[in-house]
């Protein structure tokens, strides 16, 4: 791992193939999603990360994106349908579909050439809901090179709690109602009902045998009150370790759901994992 990516700029500058930041759109189910690509310096092709934000996406991990690029990775960041200005209606299902659309777009020859993408080495890194979308996509798309989930939210597990606890159901609707300012085309009630309707399909234990054969990084936060590790992190790690899962990297950091005060440690863990899978 190039240790200095956390403390030094790239030098010397490659004048022909410099590091760049480019705004872009790509199509997903008839809508053009807003995104940007951080292109790594050099002729490439470069391994590429699809960086997925959560619900609604208040923490978008831009600091990690720049660190990954300094380490030689391209980074694609985008907003799901109905989120942060992207057209369409937001839903958790749409978000997962949009991740698949992003992968198809990255694998086209035109995009590989334009952004110097190594289509054989595309990694998904998601936070919270984005971690769930990353895991589900990796479980159903064998061409995903690796997947990392940061404080990943397990909707299948959460649905069980919602069914058994009316007070939690009411509190979740109220909480999610307060998260809709950056989203469009949905309501808190619709989102909660979607989780209940998809509870079986979204049980990650259905995909354990597949994920156990993949390059997987799971990082939790032991002061996380949104996706507590006891429900959303540890059971998945334990299930993978029982297989065993030779490609598993896991850690729990002493912080909150957004990894607010351990950003350097988080970056070090992810860089170490990324280096190991290459």
Q: What is the pLDDT of residues 155-177, one digit of tens each?
A: 999 999 999 999 999 999 999 99
Query: What mean pLDDT do residues 257-268 have?
Result: 98
Domain 3-155+205-277 in CATH: superfamily?
Alpha/Beta hydrolase fold, catalytic domain (3.40.50.1820)
Q: What is the pLDDT of residues 52-89, one digit of tens each?
A: 999 999 999 999 999 999 999 999 999 999 999 999 99
Query: What mean pLDDT do residues 21-42 have?
Result: 98
> By the 8 A CB rule, do 39 and 115 touch?
yes
pLDDT at 223 over 90: yes
Quick check: pTM over 0.75?
yes
> By the 8 A CB rule, do 152 and 218 touch?
yes
Q: For residue 11, what pLDDT band results from cuts at 50, 70 and 90?
A: confident
Domain positions in the chain: 3-155+205-277
Q: Report CA-CA distances (Å) from 228 to 154, 178, 223, 232, 240.
A: 10, 20, 7, 6, 18
What is the percent of the chain where pLDDT is above 90? 94
Measured in degrees and rounded to the nearest 5, phi and psi for residue 259 equal: 55, 40
Instruction: Say what the pLDDT of residue 9 is.
Output: 80
Place of tokens 């659309």: 101
Instruction: Say what the pLDDT of residue 5 is.
Output: 82
> By the 8 A CB rule, do 259 and 266 touch?
yes
Sequence-ordered alpha helix ranges (H) in the chain = 62-70, 92-106, 109-115, 129-140, 155-164, 166-177, 188-197, 208-211, 229-232, 234-241, 263-277
Q: For residue 1, what pLDDT band results from cuts at 50, 70 and 90?
A: very low
């Amino acid at each position: 791992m190039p240790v200095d990516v956390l403390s030094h700029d790239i030098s010397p500058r490659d004048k022909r193939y410099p590091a760049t930041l480019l705004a872009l759109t790509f199509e997903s189910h008839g809508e053009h999603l807003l995104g940007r690509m951080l292109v790594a310096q050099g002729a490439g092709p470069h391994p590429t990360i699809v960086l997925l934000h959560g619900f609604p996406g208040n923490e978008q991990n831009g600091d990690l994106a720049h660190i990954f690029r300094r380490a030689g990775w391209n980074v694609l960041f985008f907003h799901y349908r109905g989120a942060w200005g992207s057209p369409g209606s937001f839903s958790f299902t749409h978000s997962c579909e949009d991740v698949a659309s992003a992968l198809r777009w990255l694998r086209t020859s035109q995009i590989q050439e334009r952004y110097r993408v190594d289509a054989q080495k595309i990694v998904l890194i998601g936070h919270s809901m984005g971690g769930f979308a990353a895991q589900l996509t990796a479980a159903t798309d064998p061409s995903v090179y690796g997947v990392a989930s940061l404080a990943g939210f397990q909707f299948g597990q959460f649905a069980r709690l919602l069914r058994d606890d009316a007070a939690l159901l009411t509190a979740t609707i109220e909480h999610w109602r307060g998260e809709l300012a950056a989203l469009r085309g949905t309501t808190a009630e619709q989102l909660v009902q979607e989780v209940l309707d998809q509870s079986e399909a979204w049980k990650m234990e259905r995909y354990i045998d597949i994920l156990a054969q993949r390059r997987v990084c799971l990082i939790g936060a032991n002061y996380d009150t949104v996706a507590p590790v006891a429900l959303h992190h540890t059971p998945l790690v334990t299930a993978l370790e029982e297989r065993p899962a030779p490609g598993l990297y896991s850690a729990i950091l002493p912080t909150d759901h957004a990894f607010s005060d351990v950003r350097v440690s988080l970056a070090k863990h992810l860089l170490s994992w990324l280096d190991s899978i290459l």
